[in-house]
Amino acid sequence: MRIKVLGPGCPRCAQVEKTVKEVIQDLGLEATIEKVKDINKIMEYPILRTPGLVLDDELVCSGRVPSKEEVTEFVKKALGE
């Protein structure tokens, strides 16, 4: 699974990254997590506000910090569970 956290590196972006890492570890998955800070790369996605969360090239959340439960559901849905 490829995961991208979109944002300039603010505390909210760091929180999304931390939550994603916890969920991946809790589920026992292997994933590549990339922090995307380049505004041009961020604008490749339909995002109006950061932070953004992308799972396998699909934007699943933007403009807020999702809860751990939400991130778990996003990951499970991306895996087809």
Task: Name the residue ranges covered by the structural domains of the chain.
Answer: 2-78
Q: What is the pLDDT of residues 51-73, one digit of tens each?
A: 999 999 999 999 999 999 999 99
Compute and round to an integer the Cα radius of gyration of the chain: 11
Check if 61 is active-site.
no
Spot the catalytic one: 5, 6, 13, 47.
13
Check if 13 is active-site.
yes
How many CB atoms lie under 10 A from the CB of residue 63? Answer: 11
Q: What angle do CA 11, 31, 27 make, to 5 degrees?
A: 90
Q: CATH topology for 2-78?
A: Glutaredoxin (3.40.30)
User: So what's the pLDDT on residue 57?
Assistant: 93
User: So what's the pLDDT on residue 81?
Assistant: 80
Q: Whole-model pTM? A: 0.94
User: So what's the pLDDT on residue 5?
Assistant: 98
Both structure tokens of 27? 């589920």
Q: Please list the ranges in the chain whose pLDDT falls under 70.
A: none
Both structure tokens of 69? 């439960």
